[in-house]
């Protein structure tokens, strides 16, 4: 028996290029995983596109233990599932310093822009980009573009900032972005013309999946116009709904801030009689990751509503009866609702903002009204306390964990662009920093929780809420279920 267990734990290598992993979970015969190869998702390199490279040796003033080789990669999926057919594994190029630089740092000009909504850690990203590009590589000039994509082209906006290590020294201690931000205002032709006129060699774009789609258009237009410019992205979203990567910077900081709001709602619900109900609305347009993670972290929530799971409002398995049962049992209840939940009941708005995001119905206020109406119908009184900390959770500085993540992402982006890669973004995949082609990330975004996935299963087990009878509904348009 012991020998069988030892055998089951071994990874056996057979013919070249084919790995056969044998696992025996019981007395049954072991099965095989046949891996036919690893497919590395490649990034465009400017020299391969015909642009002249300076081929400068990367100085090792900070004593890097090693440079990253062109074929080093990180597997995209480290979980092997039983499969009848041989499998080719997808992998992403490992991020990090390269031995040879495409650009001569002493001649290199850089632009940095932040777009879309605020997120904890944006200033940490800016600071670490500047300190890496200036302090390590010694680039000649860094422009900080004011107010998002609009800052390249709009008359009347403040002129770009000239960023130095001194100007960003304390930026990481502040929430928001020292450059300012906005939605919309994207004009690829005018932006590329600005880059050409200022002789910019590298553009760093910090933003969500929509911003990244714009960044890729810029990289393609630069190539089309024969401009030797590297375009690199760093993904940002408070909703954690960007695909491919493990998580977005700032997300865990937002979870911590959301837990504070939930704690306040619990205190209000406990202390206000009769039948106190605390309702907290959190961000989450297409995905309920923030609401779900805050629910799991707080351990104080009795009902969590997210966009991925349609709401059963009434009936024995409805959420209103669940709230009533919770109050009957302990005298109060705490509810968390994501801003995008309940559209199947409230309707989908055709109105969009400058970034193309549809206007969301006021689900928090609507839910409070429904709870009041339900208790009134039952001849009971309910004391509602509604908390909307949406902008509070995203406007704070990054916590320690996110600050570290921001540093690694900024370093990875700078190393990739200096080496000559373009049209890429960076992120954690299986807790390793990688470079991802922007189209790959955009195609997988926005992502959403699976209604029968582990995260949601944990939420339901914590809250005790009934499983939605509509949870087999199709995901929201444009989302990828995980």
- pLDDT the model gives residue 60: 61
pLDDT higher than 80, residue 262: yes
Task: Answer yes or no: are the C-beta atoms of 232 and 417 closer than 8 Å.
Answer: yes
Q: Which CATH architecture has domain 251-395+450-481?
A: 3-Layer(aba) Sandwich (3.40)
CATH 3.40.50.460 location in the chain: 251-395+450-481
Task: Answer yes or no: are the C-beta atoms of 363 and 342 closer than 8 Å.
Answer: yes
Structure tokens at 380: 């009971």
pLDDT digits (tens, 9 = 90+) for 389-419: 999 999 999 999 999 999 999 999 999 999 9
- pLDDT the model gives residue 69: 92
What integer best gives the mean pLDDT of the chain?
88
pLDDT digits (tens, 9 = 90+) for 176-186: 999 999 988 89
- pLDDT the model gives residue 360: 81
Q: Which of 239, 312, 399, 402 is catalytic?
A: 239
CATH 3.40.50.450 location in the chain: 100-248+397-446
Using pLDDT thresholds of 50, 70 and 90, give the confidence band for residue 349: low
Q: How is residue 172 annotated by DSSP?
A: G
Classified by CATH at the fold level, domain 100-248+397-446 comes out as Rossmann fold (3.40.50)
pLDDT digits (tens, 9 = 90+) for 85-133: 778 899 999 999 999 999 999 999 999 999 999 999 999 999 999 999 9
| 239 catalytically annotated | yes
pLDDT higher than 90, residue 315: no
pLDDT higher than 70, residue 441: yes
Using pLDDT thresholds of 50, 70 and 90, give the confidence band for residue 354: low
Structure tokens at 480: 């990828």
Work out the average pLDDT over 372-391. Answer: 95
pLDDT digits (tens, 9 = 90+) for 11-27: 333 333 434 444 444 45
Using pLDDT thresholds of 50, 70 and 90, give the confidence band for residue 79: confident
Distance of CA 330 to CAs 143, 269, 270, 444, Å? 57, 11, 9, 43
Q: HSE on the CB side for 403, CA within 13 Å?
A: 12
- pLDDT the model gives residue 66: 83
Work out the average pLDDT over 140-169. Answer: 90
Work out the average pLDDT over 183-190. Answer: 93
Range in 283-297, 356-370, 422-436, 443-457 the model is least confident about: 356-370
């Amino acid at each position: 028996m012991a020998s069988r267990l030892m055998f089951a734990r071994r990874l056996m290598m057979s013919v070249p290029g084919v790995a056969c992993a044998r696992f025996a979970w019981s007395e049954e015969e072991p099965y095989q995983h046949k891996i036919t190869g690893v497919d590395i998702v490649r990034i465009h390199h400017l020299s391969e596109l015909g642009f002249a490279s300076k081929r400068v040796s990367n100085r090792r003033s900070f004593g890097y233990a090693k440079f990253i080789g062109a074929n080093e990669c990180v597997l995209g999926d480290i979980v092997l599932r039983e499969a009848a057919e041989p499998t080719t594994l997808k992998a992403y190029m490992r991020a990090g310093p390269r031995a040879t630089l495409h650009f001569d740092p002493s001649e290199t000009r850089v632009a940095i822009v932040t777009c879309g909504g605020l997120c904890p850690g944006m200033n940490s990203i800016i600071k670490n980009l500047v300190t890496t590009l200036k302090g390590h590589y010694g680039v000649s000039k860094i422009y900080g573009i004011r107010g998002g994509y609009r800052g390249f082209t709009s008359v009347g906006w403040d002129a770009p900032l000239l960023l130095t290590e001194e100007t960003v020294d304390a930026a990481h201690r502040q929430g928001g972005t020292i450059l300012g931000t906005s939605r919309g205002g994207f004009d690829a032709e005018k932006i590329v013309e600005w880059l050409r006129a200022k002789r910019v060699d590298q553009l760093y774009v910090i933003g969500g999946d929509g911003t990244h789609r714009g960044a890729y258009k810029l990289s393609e237009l630069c190539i089309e116009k024969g401009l030797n410019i590297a375009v690199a992205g760093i993904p940002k979203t408070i909703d954690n709904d960007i695909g491919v990567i493990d998580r977005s910077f700032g997300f865990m900081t937002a979870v911590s801030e959301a837990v504070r709001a939930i704690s306040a709602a619990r205190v209000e619900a406990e202390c206000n009689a009769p039948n106190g109900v605390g309702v907290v609305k959190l961000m989450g347009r297409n995905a309920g990751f923030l609401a779900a993670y805050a629910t799991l972290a707080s351990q104080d929530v009795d009902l969590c509503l997210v966009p991925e799971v349609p709401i059963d409002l009434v009936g024995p398995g409805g959420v209103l009866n669940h709230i009533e049962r919770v109050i009957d049992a302990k005298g109060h209840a705490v509810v968390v609702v994501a801003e995008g939940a309940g559209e199947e009941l409230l309707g989908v708005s055709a109105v969009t903002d400058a970034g193309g995001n549809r206007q969301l119905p006021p689900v928090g206020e609507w839910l409070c009204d429904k709870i009041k109406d339900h208790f009134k119908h039952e001849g009971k009184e309910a004391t509602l306390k509604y908390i909307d900390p949406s902008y509070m959770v995203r406007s704070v500085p990054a916590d320690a964990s996110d600050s570290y993540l921001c540093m690694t992402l900024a370093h990875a982006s700078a190393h990739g662009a200096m080496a000559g890669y373009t049209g890429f973004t960076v992120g954690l995949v299986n807790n390793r920093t990688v470079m991802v082609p922007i189209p790959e990330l955009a195609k997988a975004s926005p992502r959403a929780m699976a209604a029968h996935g582990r995260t949601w299963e944990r939420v339901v087990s914590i809250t005790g809420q009934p499983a939605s009878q509509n949870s087999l509904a199709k995901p929201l348009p444009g989302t990828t279920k995980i």
